[in-house]
Structure 1
Amino acid sequence: MKSIVNSQLTGKWYRIAHTNSGFEMKFLEVFVYLSISCEKCLDLLFVGIHEDRTKVLKKLSMRLIVNDKGVDIVLKYFFFRKKLKVLTLDKKNEIIIVADDKLKYLAIYSRKSVVRHEVIEKLLSDIDMNAKEISLFSMSISQ
């Protein structure tokens, strides 16, 4: 994967689909806002919307780590730290797919609130997931 710079990620991203995750499961809709806070860090504002339209906001710090294996995202929230790998960043369709090391958690974010299923299936099929197959049918689709 080519290198990613912070400025490519700033702005609003909608969560399109994800594998089951405890914290995010209770939300009907999720999106994040990314803004540059310093040269190497991004501020991430997580917005989760419940069925009754109430919102949950959470601010995290995010750092991109580029190495010879690819691009990692490190999220920090107080003492909590989570590392995700960027599996793909499709600039044409403005989609980013991230996952943890064991592929137990995988999420698809897009700049658009609606993305065609064929586009996502194509991106998922192009990713080398060590013989693990993930399709949209095994993921929770955001509305």
Structure 2
Amino acid sequence: MDVQQQWKMRFSFRNATVVICFLNFVAAFFLLQVFFGFSLRRSPSESHLDPAQIKYILESEELRRAMEPLDLIRRIKEIQQETNSEPGIETNQAPKQTAAVDLSKRLKDMRAMNDANSQKALEEWRKRKMERARQREIEKNGTISQL
């Protein structure tokens, strides 16, 4: 009986939980190592590139720099500086202001037209409703008079 109690003490739920968590941690570590390609034993010579690879990288960077439109970039910067230094701010706001006034007028006209259309639709709805009420009244009076 003494042996059974020692056995139970060694394999309690708490101890089993700790062992399972440790195994999960080790498995997660190995999965991350495989997924991200980590290696603890990588030597410094493996991380260095061959001279041919270095030459290829340098040539590709040179080509990329040569393909940049430097003249266009310079011209854009010049234009931006010209527009910032010129007193054209007032002229820029004038078209914006007229566009805003025009837009507000168009919105007001649209609202007025929508209001007129809404009023017209409301009147037609009222007329139809009154006509239906009259028809029901006539039918109701007709059925009452027949009885």
Task: Answer 1 or 2: higher relative contact order, Cα 8 Å, separation at least 6.
Answer: 1
Fold-level match, TM-score > 0.5? no
State the TM-score, normalizing by the size of structure 1.
0.11
More strand by proportion, 1 or 2?
Answer: 1
**Structure of larger gyration radius:** 2
More helix by proportion, 1 or 2?
Answer: 2
